[in-house]
Amino acid sequence: MPPRRTPRIQVTGRARAGKTTLCRALSLLAAEETRPIDRPGRPNPTLDADLLLYVLPGRADAADRRLLATLPPDRTLVVLNKADAIGVRWSDAATAAEALASDLDLPVFPVVATLAAHTRSGTLTDADLNTLRRHRDDPDPPLTLSHDLFAAPDLAPDPEARRALLDRWDLHGVSCALTALRHAPELPVRLLLQILHCASGIDPLHRELHRRYEAAAIGR
């Protein structure tokens, strides 16, 4: 049997694409986060790891496409981060990911890394649940169309609690939690947290990354 080795993972992309948050969401403690690509006056980072995670902040621009065209398909996974900002439904992000995968001839995974990182590192507190249940029956939309609408002071006498909820779970997580509680008001915390984790889209990416990591570890 070939000797196992520890594969190198690089996480790359433009500035503010969410590389650090994605590393937290996937627990990639040993991954190498590169400097941002396409910085004026600076060369792009050398991408030579066994596995490459290329993080897009919603959509691919010309610089992303130029670099992605040079990367080896067998070592590259593309993460369409901030997928909750694409369209109005998760299906819009999934459709965008499929179209991009076809254009690039690379696997593309829609993900909300901020939500995945929260579900991995924390839990819903009593304060979170109380705030969600207070607003479970509020009209949605427009309640969760924007951060400003959800945190509006004239909505209810708890703006600080609503802002704290947004800080912990962001708008996508809050919207998913409210929808789940409308369908099942007595949903246990553990199941609600699992729903939020699934809503982040992180699991398909995690499974494919693990599969490729194992293949790289065995060696060829």
DSSP helix/strand/coil, 97: helix
Give the model's pLDDT for residue 123. 86
What does the domain layout of the chain look like in residue ranges?
9-112+201-218, 116-198
Give the model's pLDDT for residue 56. 96
Which tens digit of pLDDT belongs to each residue from 202-211? 999 999 999 9
E strand or H helix that includes residue 108: strand 108-110
CATH class of the domain whose range is 9-112+201-218:
alpha beta
CA distance 202 to 205: 5
Residue type, 195: I
Give the model's pLDDT for residue 105. 95
E strand or H helix that includes residue 148: helix 147-150
pTM of the model: 0.91
DSSP 12: E
Counting as low any pLDDT under 70, the low residues of the chain are 1-4, 139-143, 220
- Locate 60 and state its tokens: 């691919």
> Mind giving me the DSSP string for 35-63?
PPSS-TTSPPPP--SSEEEEEEESS--HH
Give the model's pLDDT for residue 140. 59
Give the model's pLDDT for residue 141. 58
SS3 content of the chain, % helix, strand, coil (to 5): 50, 10, 40
Angle between helices 19-26 and 202-218 (to 10 degrees): 80
DSSP helix/strand/coil, 11: strand
